Amino acid sequence: MTEQRIALVTGANKGIGYEIVAQLAERGMTVLLGARDDKRREQAVTALREAGHGNVHGVALDVTDPATVRAAAATVEERFGRLDVLVNNAGISGGLDQAPSSVDPAVFRAVFDVNVIGVLTVTNAMLPLLRRSGAPRIVNMSSGVGSLAAMSDPDGPLAQMPPSAAYVPSKTALNSLTVQYAKELGKDGVLVNAADPGWVATDFTDHRAPRTPRQGAAIVVRLATLGADGPTGGFFNDDGPVPW
């Protein structure tokens, strides 16, 4: 894994995604910063380059729009011929009122469209390019709330979290999808894992969390740079495996 590696990070114009791009670039990778908003994407790329990361490039990518996903894959193929790392970071919360008895089905669909179906769409579009890599890695941005064990523990730290019928189940579904990809792609040498960044101060949490985006990005970067003997089909935070 000494050659310059090519990585794509979705939803990366701010927050943890931005820091993932920065840390992968620090490790010498060429990083494609995927984001749907043209202005914010280019602002992020400019800021990263001014910080010394000249190997960062913007790619128009809306995970809910298959046309932009196909176009992004075509761009990667034309410019680089392969992809070594895919980080499915794009995600939405769906807002605060997600009690199962009152959640708007439209919110449920929108959250799953980005957080689960978007991952499927992007991953499948990039798989032909990942299969050309000598050491392909896929990392899906999950959350500790996606752990059924943690959410059902009456004495655990998540016990007081309000019920969520959209965001939380979307991350549980993403974890399951991660396992299924790992099962299918193991024969191709693709390591596929889910990452729990912890409670991070971003727009997602209204910046009311103890961890920085840089700290939250660390586990993703670790999984994105696993050696050939690394795990696959797992769910990890900074301390190790997270209970399903």
Lowest mean pLDDT among 55-59, 122-126, 154-158: 154-158
183 catalytically annotated:
no
Lowest mean pLDDT among 120-134, 186-200, 217-231: 186-200
Q: Give yes or no for residue 127 having a pLDDT over 80.
A: yes
The residue among 61, 2, 60 whose CA lies nearest residue 29 is 2
pLDDT mean over 61-84: 97
User: Which pLDDT score is estimated for 45?
Assistant: 98
Q: Which of 39, 171, 181, 183 is catalytic?
A: 171
Q: What are phi and psi of 86, to 5 degrees?
A: -120, 125
For the record, the structure tokens of 54 come out as 């000249």
Q: Which of 14, 18, 167, 183 is catalytic?
A: 167
User: Which pLDDT score is estimated for 23?
Assistant: 97
For the record, the structure tokens of 81 come out as 């011929």
| Position 186 confidence tier, pLDDT thresholds 50, 70, 90 | very high
Chain position carrying tokens 């979307």: 170
Q: Give yes or no for residue 2 having a pLDDT over 50.
A: no
User: Which pLDDT score is estimated for 96?
Assistant: 82
Distance CA 92, CA 132 (A): 31
pLDDT mean over 215-224: 96
The residue among 106, 95, 37 whose CA lies nearest residue 65 is 37
39 catalytically annotated:
no
User: Which pLDDT score is estimated for 207?
Assistant: 62
48-65 pLDDT tens trace? 999 999 999 999 999 999
Q: Burial letters for 193-209: b for 16+ Cβ neighbours within 10 Å, e otherwise?
A: bbbbbbbbbbebeeeee
The residue among 153, 129, 9 whose CA lies nearest residue 81 is 129
